[in-house]
Amino acid sequence: MPSVMTANRLQDGAVVYLSDNENWITELASARVAEDGTQLEILQKIAAEATGKQIIIGAYPMDVDLTTGAPAAKSVREKIRAARRPTIAAVNEAR
């Protein structure tokens, strides 16, 4: 199953994804996709190095859908993380 590596950036807590050039970016659609277990192991090693350098925290592989040609979140949890916004209206907006 196609996967990407996701984590949180230590500098600001932002949800990030590993890119093709081994940077941590906020746009899921530009993330590097692992098509098999061997490729995923490579991404996990890169994430472990970034964790050791205190760039990211909590890295894990995330299954993605490639129907549109770019990685897209499959689970509700990952869709919320990728949207980078609250799931409820602010108190003032709810009134």
Residue 89 has pLDDT above 90, yes or no: no
Answer yes or no: is pLDDT of 88 > 90: no
**What does the domain layout of the chain look like in residue ranges?**
3-94
Whether pLDDT at 21 is above 90: yes
Name the pLDDT band for 90 (thresholds 50, 70, 90).
low
- Residues whose CB is less than 8 angstroms from the CB of residue 10 and which lie 6 or more positions away in sequence, other chains included: 54, 55, 56, 57
Per-residue pLDDT, 87: 73
Give 52-68 as a DSSP string: HTTSEEEEEEEEEE-TT
* Pair 37, 29: CB distance under 8 Å: no
Tens of pLDDT, residue by residue over 27-81, are 999 999 999 999 999 999 999 999 999 999 999 999 999 999 999 999 999 999 9
d(CA 3, CA 12): 24
CB 5 within 8 A of CB 17: yes
pTM score, two decimals?
A: 0.89
Q: How far apart are CA 77 and CA 1, in angstroms?
A: 18
Band (pLDDT 50/70/90 cuts) for residue 85 is confident
